[in-house]
């Protein structure tokens, strides 16, 4: 139960930071790091597929509220990304940063590609080369750089708050 509460609090904090502070202060060329995908992948990577799916649905619904016109579209994508990150749970090492940041990069690339498909369908804009250079690659790089800091904070929180609680049970 504590994992669910912490996940909800983390998602709300990440959503508020991403939609307010990061979108105004850390906006570089129209690109903002995706904090929610960092939390979704961290949760899936550390706890497994089911927890990653839960975090993905929660984070996706928050993204749907902010950006989507139809509820559930981002939730579905983030759910699959959280589930995919849960596959790497068996490779979880407490202080490893390289593997989760690479998973975050791949997850952000998939999410950006999904954004391209939606934009191409809605606006009939199929300039994929432009989209890759101007949106996808900068967003992936920026999210991976932000993940170096945010993932360490999330990992520290998990190891100091949740692990002692789980050991007492």
- For residues 119-141, give the mean pLDDT: 83
- CA distance readout (Å), 156 to 21, 26, 29, 79: 23, 23, 31, 24
The pTM (predicted TM-score) of the whole model is: 0.89
Query: What's the count of helices (H) and strands (E) in the chain, helices before strands?
Result: 9, 0
d(Cα 72, Cα 162) in Å, to the nearest integer? 29
Give the pLDDT confidence score for residue 164 in this predicted structure: 58
Q: Look at 74 and 115; give whichever has higher pLDDT.
A: 74
Give domain status of residue 23, yes or no.
Answer: no
Determine the structural domain holding residue 62 and report its residue range: 34-161
Give domain status of residue 21, yes or no.
Answer: no
Q: Look at 76 and 3; give whichever has higher pLDDT.
A: 76
pLDDT at 40 over 90: yes
Give domain status of residue 68, yes or no.
Answer: yes
Mean of the per-residue pLDDT values of the chain: 86
* Total domain count, the chain: 1
Give the pLDDT confidence score for residue 169 in this predicted structure: 47
- For residues 85-90, give the mean pLDDT: 92
pLDDT at 104 over 50: yes
β-pair partners for 28: 31
Q: Look at 133 and 1; give whichever has higher pLDDT.
A: 133
Angle 63-141-88 (CA atoms, 0-180°, nearest 5)?
Answer: 70
Work out the pLDDT band at 163, boundaries 50, 70, 90. Answer: low
Give domain status of residue 47, yes or no.
Answer: yes
d(Cα 23, Cα 75) in Å, to the nearest integer? 21
- For residues 52-79, give the mean pLDDT: 88
pLDDT at 124 over 80: no
């Amino acid at each position: 139960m504590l994992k669910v509460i912490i996940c909800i609090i983390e998602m709300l904090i990440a959503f508020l930071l991403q939609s307010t502070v990061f979108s105004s202060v850390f906006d570089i060329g129209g690109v903002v790091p995706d904090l929610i995908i960092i939390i979704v992948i961290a949760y899936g990577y550390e706890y497994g597929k089911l927890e990653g799916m839960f975090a993905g649905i929660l984070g996706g619904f928050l993204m749907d509220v902010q950006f989507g016109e139809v509820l559930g579209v981002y939730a579905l994508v983030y759910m699959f990304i959280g589930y995919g990150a849960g596959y790497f749970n068996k490779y979880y090492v407490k202080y490893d940063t390289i593997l989760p940041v690479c998973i975050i990069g791949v997850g952000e690339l998939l999410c950006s590609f999904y954004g391209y498909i939606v934009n191409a369908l809605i606006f009939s804009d199929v300039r994929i080369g432009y989209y890759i250079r101007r949106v996808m690659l900068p967003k992936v790089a920026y999210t991976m750089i932000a993940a170096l800091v945010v993932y360490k904070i999330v990992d520290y929180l998990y190891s100091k708050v949740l692990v002692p609680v789980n050991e007492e049970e």
